[in-house]
């Protein structure tokens, strides 16, 4: 008699496990379908929100290559952020060590009960998540996922916590792979894309522009008198200037745009879905912001300017990406020959 009662329950449990396994396989396929870091983070958060019916989700990841600090990624969903506060903590934090050692989900009360002094706990307290999920891959802590309240206002069962740990494990592997790709395609000094990546991306955008008949613009920029600057202030100061200029480029473009270090002091920016008029606004904004930036290095206040060349792809006449790059380069040299610190277009 007991067997007749337990069989349906066991069958239901097995069916649930099979369903969850199939879901995890699909999630794994989705997470591993991209090596773009921001796209991957978006996918991880939306997956967690969809699977658990959540109103909020966020993720803390390493600040950058070689960093030991975890910082809240800008793609967070639903959480109210006080922009005057820092949302960052060290990998060496005692709370991080606890989560890495035991690799389980924690509620905030469960973390607080340990009673340790923790800057990570203070950061999480400001966000007040319902559940904290460690991103552990190959025995190493790669970050944490924070989850807010659910649509039905319910808690998380042990089965759901285990399921979330499985998602986090898959996410951690995908993040590791994306990080390796990021390292391979990123210039270590400026954190912009490398020359080779630029040409691959330009090829792809050229083909998309032809296929979808949409605009594509390209900016080429060069720091004025950079050799003279290096000779005067030294190469360390020059390296610092390259980093500052690269940051200003990134601050003035969209996430979909691609900024690359094209050469020593030369940069390129691919602007998909952008016509000449729109690109001119971007180029002029970048030029102005760099020319007015006071660059502090040691006890010096330095200043540099850039010359900019700009072009829009001509779908009818441009046969390859080379045509677009050559024209943008010619526009750059027009700026160089016109006194520098200006924008020219062709």
The answer as to whether 115 is a domain residue is: yes
Phi and psi at 127, nearest 5°, equal -90, -25
pLDDT value of residue 248: 97
One domain, residues 205 and 172 = no
Question: 315 and 228 share a domain?
Answer: yes
What pLDDT was estimated at residue 22?
86
* pLDDT per position as a tens digit, 24-38: 888 888 888 888 888
**Do 109 and 245 fall within a single domain?**
no
In this prediction, residue 97 has a pLDDT band, given cuts at 50, 70 and 90, of confident
Could you tell me if 218 and 167 lie in one domain? no
- Please tell me whether residues 218 and 171 are part of one structural domain: no
Encode pLDDT of 106-164 as tens digits.
999 998 887 667 888 999 999 999 999 999 877 678 899 999 999 988 899 999 999 99
Q: Give the tokens for residue 295.
A: 């660059």
Q: How many angstroms separate the Cα of 246 from the Cα of each of 243, 286, 306, 307, 325?
A: 5, 11, 12, 14, 20
Mean pLDDT (the chain, rounded): 91
Give percent of the chain above pLDDT 90.
Answer: 68
pLDDT in tens, 251-291: 999 989 999 999 999 999 999 999 999 999 999 999 999 99
Residue carrying structure tokens 């998380």:
156
Q: What CATH number should be reported for the domain holding residue 281?
A: 3.30.70.270
Cα 252 to Cα 57, 64, 256, 288, distances in angstroms: 27, 20, 12, 11
Q: What is the pLDDT of residue 1?
A: 45
Question: Domain boundary residue among 184, 208, 228?
Answer: 184
Residue 190 lies in a domain: no
**Considering 265, 266, 293, 298, which one is annotated as catalytic?**
265
Task: Please compute, for residue 176, the number of CA atoms within 13 A of its CA located in the half-sphere on the CB side.
Answer: 14
pLDDT tens digits, 38-83: 899 999 999 999 999 999 999 999 876 667 889 999 889 999 988 8
Q: Check residue 30 and give its pLDDT.
A: 86
Give the alpha-carbon dihedral of 113, 161, 181, 243, to 10 degrees: -30
Q: Which of 127, 154, 184 is the last residue of a domain?
A: 184
SS (HEC) of 128-162? CCCEEEEEEECCEEEEEEEECCECCCCCCCHHHHH
Task: Tell me, yes or no, whether 2 lies in a domain.
Answer: no
Which single residue is written with the structure tokens 């921001």?
Answer: 38
Q: Is residue 323 part of a domain?
A: yes
Are 73 and 167 members of one domain? yes
Within 8 A by CB and 6+ apart from 93, the residues are 118, 119, 120
- Average pLDDT over every residue of 158-187: 91
Closest CA to 58 of 130, 165, 163, 138: 130
Choose the weakest-confidence range: 2-11, 207-216, 325-334. Answer: 2-11
Decide if 179 contacts 66 (C-beta within 8 A): no
Contact 181, 65 (CB under 8 A): no
- At residue 151, the pLDDT reads 92
Check if 265 is active-site.
yes
The residue that leads in pLDDT, 223 or 19, is: 223
Continuous segment of H or E residues that includes residue 167: helix 158-185
d(CA 129, CA 83): 18
* Cβ-based neighbours of 150, under 8 Å, separated by 6 or more: 52, 53, 54, 55, 130, 156
What residue has token string 């206040």?
Answer: 301
Could you give the number of structural domains in the chain?
2
- Segments of 163-292 assigned E as strands: 216-223, 258-261, 266-272
How wide is the angle at C-alpha 182 spanned by C-alphas 50 and 310, nearest 5°?
Answer: 105
Is 262 within 8 Å of 343 (Cβ atoms)?
Answer: no
Asked if residue 4 is part of any domain, the answer here is no
Range of the domain at 242: 195-345
* Selected residue with higher pLDDT from 101 and 191: 191
Question: CATH number of the domain that 170 lies in?
Answer: 3.30.450.40
- Does 209 lie in the same domain as 314? yes
| CA-closest candidate to residue 335, choices 320, 346, 324 | 346
């Amino acid at each position: 008699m007991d067997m007749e009662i337990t069989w349906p329950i066991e069958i239901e449990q097995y069916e649930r496990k099979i369903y969850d396994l199939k879901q995890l396989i699909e999630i794994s396929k989705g997470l591993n379908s991209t090596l773009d870091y921001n796209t991957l983070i978006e996918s991880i958060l939306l997956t967690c929100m969809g699977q658990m019916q959540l109103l909020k989700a966020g993720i803390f990841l390493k600040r950058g290559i070689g960093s030991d600090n975890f910082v809240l990624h800008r793609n967070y969903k639903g959480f109210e952020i006080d922009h005057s506060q820092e949302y960052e903590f060290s990998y060496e934090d005692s709370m991080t060590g606890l989560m890495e050692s035991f690799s389980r989900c924690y509620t905030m009360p469960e973390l607080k009960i340990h009673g340790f002094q923790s800057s990570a706990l203070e950061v999480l307290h400001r966000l007040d998540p319902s559940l904290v999920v460690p991103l552990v891959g190959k025995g190493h802590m790669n970050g944490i996922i924070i989850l807010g309240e659910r649509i039905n206002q319910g808690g998380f069962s042990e089965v759901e916590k285990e399921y979330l740990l499985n998602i986090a494990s898959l996410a951690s592997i995908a993040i590791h792979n994306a990080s390796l790709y990021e390292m391979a395609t990123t210039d270590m000094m400026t954190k912009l894309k490398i020359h080779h990546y630029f040409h691959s991306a330009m090829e792809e955008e050229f083909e998309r522009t032809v296929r979808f008949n949409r605009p594509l613009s390209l900016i080429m920029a060069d720091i004025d008198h950079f050799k003279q600057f290096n000779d005067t202030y030294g190469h360390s100061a020059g390296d610092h200037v390259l980093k500052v200029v690269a940051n200003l480029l990134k601050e003035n473009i969209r996430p979909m745009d691609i900024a690359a270090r094209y050469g020593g002091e030369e940069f390129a920016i691919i602007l998909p879905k952008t016509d000449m008029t729109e690109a001119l606004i971007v180029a002029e904004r970048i030029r102005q912001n760099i020319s007015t930036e006071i660059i502090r290095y040691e006890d010096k206040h330095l200043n540099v300017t850039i010359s900019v060349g700009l072009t829009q792809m001509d779908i009818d006449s441009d046969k390859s990406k080379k045509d677009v790059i050559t024209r943008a380069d010619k526009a750059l040299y027009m700026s160089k020959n016109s006194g520098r610190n200006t924008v020219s277009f062709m």
